[in-house]
């Protein structure tokens, strides 16, 4: 004989099995059970329909958000391009002004060099 103490798991499994059996007999064997089963099936289908409806709404809102995001992205890109054009024009204008000043300095230097050379040309040469 086995001298081990009985394990509570067997009794728990036996109880759960009996409970499941009673539920199955209730739903399949009685009028009330069949009505309850149909009620549960109806509520389950309604719940699934509600969930599908909510998912469609969420999907539609997601598409709207994507469209709004794309529009914002396009506006930002346009503004960046405008700013880039403005900055490019500003840099070009400043570079033109700097080059004009440089040309003025070169002209002034050329005039001064010419004047200095004229003074040296008039000097008598050493023999």
**pLDDT tops 60 at residue 1:** no
Largest CA distance in the chain: 145
**pLDDT tops 70 at residue 37:** yes
**What are the extents of the domains in the chain?**
17-121
Segment 61-90 shows an average pLDDT of 91
pLDDT in tens, 77-86: 999 988 888 8
pLDDT in tens, 104-126: 999 989 888 888 877 777 666 66
34-49: burial string, b at 16+ Cβ within 10 Å, e else: eeeeeeeeeeeeeeee
DSSP states along 33-63: HHHHHHHHHHHHHHHHHHHHHHHHHHHHHHH
- Report the pLDDT value the prediction gives residue 113, as an integer from 0 to 100: 85
80/92 Cα distance (integer angstroms): 18
The pTM of this model reads: 0.46
């Amino acid at each position: 004989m086995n001298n081990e103490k009985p394990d509570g798991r067997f009794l728990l499994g036996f109880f759960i099995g009996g409970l499941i059996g009673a539920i199955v007999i209730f739903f399949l064997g009685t009028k009330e059970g069949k009505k309850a089963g149909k009620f549960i099936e109806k509520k389950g289908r309604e719940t699934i329909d509600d969930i599908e409806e909510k998912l469609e709404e969420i999907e539609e809102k997601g598409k709207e958000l994507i469209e709004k995001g794309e529009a914002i992205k396009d506006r930002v890109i346009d503004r960046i391009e405008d700013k880039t054009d403005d900055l490019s024009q500003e840099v070009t204008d400043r570079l033109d002004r700097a080059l004009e000043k440089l040309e003025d300095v070169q002209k002034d230097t050329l005039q001064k060099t010419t004047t200095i050379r004229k003074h040296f040309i008039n000097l008598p040469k050493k023999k």
